[in-house]
Structure 1
């Protein structure tokens, strides 16, 4: 490949069995001086693919490490970065053209220690959402040494920083994992379990108001607040899936407390 002008940027990725998704991710990072990949046991050819891309000239450094949890694995990956700026990106994400064009400006910013970046999902039956339909911007780009992950978080982990954080516009991360609803619900179920366990361990009590009102609020926030209504039925399903995640999280917190207060034991037959 032709070697582009590299930016003082380390991209870091954690992965396992991402052979179907990671190559476009890596190719969108050709402006990075360094690409850190921490693999936790791929068996689907991901490592062979990364080696092929490295031989093409991509500055990939692969680390193999057992799975300690999302936050701990990303913290390890962040610590391997050597460039002045660090970009957290998932294997199923790619930089869109606008973000690639504006990366030099973001890295040249003197005031910010970190940047929040928008993400646009690929919706089954629709495609990538338009530039004005995006998920909540998340902190993804940080100066090296200016932040770290909160290791107490089991899911929705993020970098905590001290200093000024700005929002990057224009530009987005493109999220390409077009799972049918059957598989997406399994993913939401797993994430809601991690979230419920995290909140339960932190002493979160069940509240009927959250159980009743959080799911419809979640739906409305996504459908209207994030303009998913402009994406047809695909947008409706995306927002409703988020509401299901919210409901399962609150319901699991309620059930964890209920099982402590009222352990599930079958009553004697003469008692019913």
Structure 2
């Protein structure tokens, strides 16, 4: 085993998390699961795996990931979600790393799956993220969505062999529901950041995003799945700015709820 703790954020992915945990345990003897969902099957699978499980109220992706890193036995953290599975190539690469230099972070390629199909093109086909880092220097920004790692300027980025396989959605309906949820979180974040929902964002950004994903990045080569992904992302882009425009037009007492991370209601989009 290597001096790496695997931190897994889990909610309602009982059908995937067992494979996620199985491969995580090939890397380390320290797997931490931060669980915040309602589904007992997920909690049962996590608890029976021999991992350390912490049931935590939802405070945003960044906050929950930092909670897992704080509970870790080792300073080196591999951060993944419960619908993400490290493959054998990545496991082997991590096992052969030298962990003496904490000023390095590792950028990992992703392979995304949609309804059982591996997506090779579009924005998903070239996806990669920094997910292996030392917690003494690096933490997640504590935002509700679009959390990022805060990297000191002197930290060096390195690529690593292997992939994380992301099992995003079983089909169009599930993907649309996820996108709707993320759109609301994005709108609230944008409002707190002072962004505005202008005509360009509402009408032109969704179309440009579709063309970039489906045409320029060759998403059409993924067949029907490529179309569904590009069309749903386009819909989601418009939806989040529509939600943002609704927030902007709320009475002052309700906009204060948004600023304080509290729930507001939206019209369906």
TM range (shorter): 0.7 to 0.9
**Of the candidates 3, 8, 14, which is equivalent to residue 8 of structure 1?**
3
Secondary structure of 1:86's partner? strand
**Pairing 1:164–2:160 present:** no
**Pairing 1:25–2:20 present:** yes
**Of the candidates 203, 211, 226, which is equivalent to residue 212 of structure 1?**
203
**Of the candidates 63, 76, 80, which is equivalent to residue 67 of structure 2?**
76
Q: Contact 2:114–2:171 (CA<8 Å) still a contact in 1? A: no
Q: CA deviation at 1:40?
A: 2.2
Q: CA deviation at 1:82?
A: 2.2
**Pairing 1:38–2:38 present:** no
Q: Which runs of 5+ in 1 are unaligned?
A: 1-5, 55-59, 262-272
Give me the CA root mean square deviation.
2.6
Query: How is 1:109-188 mapped onto 2 (pairs within 5 angstroms)?
Result: 110=101, 112-124=103-115, 127-130=117-120, 134-151=125-142, 153-162=143-152, 163-188=154-179
Q: CA deviation at 1:252?
A: 1.7
Secondary structure of 1:83's partner? coil
Who is 2:255 aligned against? none
Q: Contact 1:106–1:168 (CA<8 Å) still a contact in 2? A: no
CA distance 1:98–1:216, change in 2 (3 Å): farther
Q: For 1:41 and 1:225, how far apart are their aligned partners in 2? A: 37
Q: Which runs of 5+ in 2 are unaligned?
A: 253-269
Q: For 1:260 and 1:42, how far apart are their aligned partners in 2? A: 32
Secondary structure of 2:159's partner? strand
CA distance 1:203–1:178, change in 2 (3 Å): closer
Moved more, 173-182 or 129-138: 129-138
Give structure 1 regions of 4+ aligned residues with deviation exceeding 6 angstroms: none
Moved more, 186-195 or 241-250: 241-250
Who is 1:88 aligned against? 79
Count the aligned residue pairs. Answer: 250
Q: Contact 2:106–2:158 (CA<8 Å) still a contact in 1? A: yes
Secondary structure of 1:140's partner? strand
Secondary structure of 1:78's partner? helix
Secondary structure of 1:32's partner? coil
Of structures 1 and 2, the larger Rg is shown by 1
Q: For 2:163 and 2:92, how far apart are their aligned partners in 1? A: 11
CA distance 1:107–1:130, change in 2 (3 Å): farther
Q: Contact 1:81–1:144 (CA<8 Å) still a contact in 2? A: no
CA distance 1:92–1:211, change in 2 (3 Å): same
Relative to the length of structure 1, the TM-score reads: 0.81
CA distance 1:107–1:184, change in 2 (3 Å): farther
Q: Contact 1:33–1:83 (CA<8 Å) still a contact in 2? A: no
Q: CA deviation at 1:84?
A: 3.2
